[in-house]
Structure 1
Amino acid sequence: MRRKTLFQIAEIANGLVDPILAKRAGINTMLLGSWEDIAGPEFADCTKPEKIVWQRRASEGQADGGFEPGTLVVACEGARALFLSHQLGEFIDRINGFFGFPAVQRIKIVQKPVTPLNRPKRRAPPLPQDKAQHLSKMLGDIEDDRLKAALEKLGRAVMTQKKHG
C-alpha cells in the first residue's frame, strides 16, 4: 500500500521559488527567511537583501572554474545606511557564516525605503516537560545571554522538528 506523504505549502513554494530567485537575484528563500537573524535587531527592520551579483569570469569554460565571491546588494533606509556602512565587515562575516563559505566579499548599500516583511511569527509548539528540562540543563553553564537565547531557539527548533517519512 502506498503511503501518502504530507508536505507543507512552504516546502513546495520554496522548491518552486528558489530556482527563480537564484537565477534572477542570486539569493534563495533561506537567506530571505533568515535575514532577521543575520541582520540582527539593529538592522532587521531597515534592511533587505535584494540580490547577489556574481563576478563574471573570463575563463568560464575552464575545468578548474575557481569560485569568486559575489557582491550582496542590500536596500537600506535613509540615515541607517551610514551606521550599516560602519559595520560592513561584521555583516559580511555573518552572511558568510550563514552560507558556510565565503560567498560574499563586499556589500553594496542602496538607499531606499524598505517594506518590512509582514509575515506572522510562527510559535513553536511547546516542548514536552522532559525535553524542556534536558535543554535547560544543557544550556545551564552558558553565561552570555544572547548566545544562550540563540542556542535555546535552535534547540527548541531541533527538538520539535516533525519526522517526515
Structure 2
Amino acid sequence: MAADIVDPVSMVNDTGKSSRKKPRKGVRPLADLIGATLDPICARRGFGSASLLSWWPDIVGPDYESSTYPESVHWPKRHDQRGADAAPAVLTVRVLPSQALFFQHEIPQVLERVNQFLGYQAIGRVRIIQGQFTLARPKARAQNRPLTEAEAENLEARLADIGEADLQSSLKRLGAAILTGK
C-alpha cells in the first residue's frame, strides 16, 4: 500500500496562506505549558480553567487570601437539556472556621468580583464549607553570595562617572545581582 504524499501546494487555503501551523521558536512562557496540563484537572472541579484559582488572592483581597480556597463550581444543566433551569452556577469555597462568619458577610462583594473576573454573571451563589486546608507555600530563596572585594571595586569604578545618586545606586544593585548570579 502506498503512503499518502501531501503536496505542499494543497496545504494553502483561500487566502493564500498555509493552513499548517508553524512551530513557535524561542522561549515559551511557562504558563503556556502548564495551562494545558492544569485545565483538564480544573475542569473536573467545574473551573473552566486554572485562572480563577490563580487569581483568587486578588479576587478576595488580602483579608481572605490565606483563609479561603475555591473548592469547585457547580454549573446548572444547559438550557438545551431536559430539566434545565436558568439558575446560575454555585461556587463552593472552603473557609477556615475562624473566618467563616466574617467571610459570609463579604459574599456579595466576592460574587461581584468573581463575576467581574469571569466577564458575565456566571456565579449566583456562594456555598461555604468550613474546614482546614493547606496552601502551597513558596520555597525560601537561596541567599546570594556577597561580592568579592575585586568585584565591588570594579563595579564602583565603572559607576563612578554617573552623577545622579538614585541611578547610581540602582545600577549598583543591578550590577551586584548580575555578578552574584541572581
- Structure-2-length-normalised TM-score: 0.57
Residue number among 100, 104, 117 corresponding to 1:81 in the alignment:
100
> How large is the Cα RMSD of the aligned pairs?
2.6
Structure number, greater radius of gyration? 2
Q: Which runs of 5+ in 1 are unaligned?
A: 122-165
Query: In the TM superposition, what is the alpha-carbon distance from 1:58 to its structure 2 partner?
Result: 7.1
Question: Identical aligned pairs, as a percentage?
Answer: 32
C-alpha displacement of 1:79: 2.0
Larger RCO, structures 1/2 (Cα 8 Å, 6+ apart): 1
Q: TM-score, normalised by structure 1?
A: 0.62
- Conserved? CA contact 1:46–1:116, under 8 Å: no
Give the alignment partner of residue 77 of structure 2, picking from 34, 37, 56. 56
Taking a change above 3 Å as real, the CA distance of residues 3 and 37 of structure 1, as seen in their structure-2 partners, is: closer
Counterpart residue type for residue 67 of structure 2: C
Tell me the distance in 2 between the aligned counterparts of 1:47 and 1:106: 16
1:150 corresponds in structure 2 to none
Deviation of 1:51 after TM superposition, in Å, equals 0.5
Unaligned stretches of 5+ residues in structure 2: 1-22, 141-182
- 4+ residue runs over 6 A deviation: none
Match of 1:25 among 42, 45, 54: 45
Pairing 1:6–2:30 present? no
* Number of the residue aligned with 1:138: none
Deviation (angstroms), 1:5: 3.6
C-alpha distance in 2, partners of 1:53/1:41? 26
Q: Which of the residues 66, 69, 92 maps onto 1:45?
A: 66
